[in-house]
Copies of this chain bind each other. A is one copy, B any other.
Amino acid sequence: MRIEEVDFHYLSMPVVRNIGDGSQDALLVQVTMDDGTVGFGECEAAPLVSIAAWCCPMSHSACKPLKSTVLGYEINSAEDIRRLTFEVRRNSFDLLQTDHTLSGIDMALWDALGKKTGRPAWSLLGYRQCFAKTAYASQLVGETPQETFEEAKKAREGGFKATKFGWGPFGQGTVEDDVAHLEAAREGLGDDRVLMIDAGTIWHEDIAAARKRIDALKKCNALWLEEPFHCGALAEYAELSGDGVPLAAGEGSHNPSLAKQMMDFGKVKYIQIDAGRIGGLTSAYEVAEYARRKGVVYVNHTFTTYLALSASLQPFAGMESSYWCEYPVESTELAQTLTTKPIRPDGDGRIQISSEPGLGMEVDFGTVRRFERKVQIDIDNNIIWKSK
């Protein structure tokens, strides 16, 4: 079957606030094949910019819009999708936004191929079976330690075996402020639950600042410290990794090489991949396989919809030793209603991975209509993009 059409639906909450909640908008990608098969994916990316990367005029032979490679491409096997990913990157490698746009398209193609063949994406990727993952609730740090405590208690009562706190005021005030949040989180969770901490790159390249929190992180028994530094600060990651708190990072990786370098040179113990940024399932699976060989635990990075969550699980579905699953608990109405059914932890706080064809999710077009923003781009008065 050939790729006949690619639609981008730019969805957004009516008001987008200046907070670290990535579920306030979404770029839904709908791929239609010439035999009528339809697949869906999602870019975890700036929607307008990602659409522009799809439809912009060519600048030169290595700076082409994605549509010039994707439209008309024949997709009948996993190998075809892998080859397309390779060709898109070769034809568009001077177009920086490429990987983010590619992510949603690649996802949608695995979804379409799954629907065509009746197989789940994880099976097409190469796994024989899939394993349930233990969900960790992903929460923003509260404005006050009391708020953090309440959120932790709520997560515990919600049945989560693990909770990750991050962003919000964490790392922006004094060490004492952060220690108070860490203690509150642990107290709210209780000693029998797992706690992870996400610094959201707040210390940039400042190892000393990160080090001041290490004792408290140990005291509250944090499983990992996530993103103490920006994603290029590999030497700083490597140095801090010696301090006894395992590091986690990788969500900023927009291609497999960057994720591999985070493991090889940054010495992280948990590699966190957003399938909506790294180039889709093809690239995420490549990283998962590499992580397995290196003894690094693969973790999905997901803060948005259930479609994105399902997609994010496929690349490591068959990897028993990578058992954590990031689970967003504070996402927007848009994110929670984009699919006709949610993905919820079971009674043991675990996420069961669907064996339905493709990504196993159905898009609710009522939600799409409700939240869609209509984009039109003209160059010299010619329409080069118009939302349907």
Residues of chain A at the chain B interface (Cβ within 8 Å): 10, 12, 16, 18-22, 24-25, 44-49, 51-53, 56-63, 65, 89-90, 93-97, 99-100, 200-201, 204, 230-235, 252, 254-258, 260-261, 264-265, 277, 373-381
Contacts and interface: CB of A to CB of B under 8 A. Distances in A.
A379 B10 CA distance: 10
10 contacts: A20-B62, A21-B60, A46-B94, A49-B53, A94-B277, A232-B255, A375-B377, A375-B379, A376-B376, A377-B377
Nearest to A49: B52
How many copies of the polypeptide does the oligomer hold?
Answer: 2
B63 A52 contact: no
Given A47-B56, A93-B201, A232-B257, A378 B375 contact: yes
A97 B56 contact: no
Contacts of A261: 232, 234, 261, 265
Contacts of A234: 257, 261
Given A93-B252, A376-B377, A381-B374, A48 B56 contact: yes
Given A12-B57, A20-B62, A59-B22, A232 B258 contact: yes
A379 B22 CA distance: 20
Contacts of A380: 373-374
Identify the 7 closest CB pairs spanning chains A and B, nearest first.
A232-B257, A48-B56, A52-B52, A97-B97, A49-B52, A376-B378, A46-B95
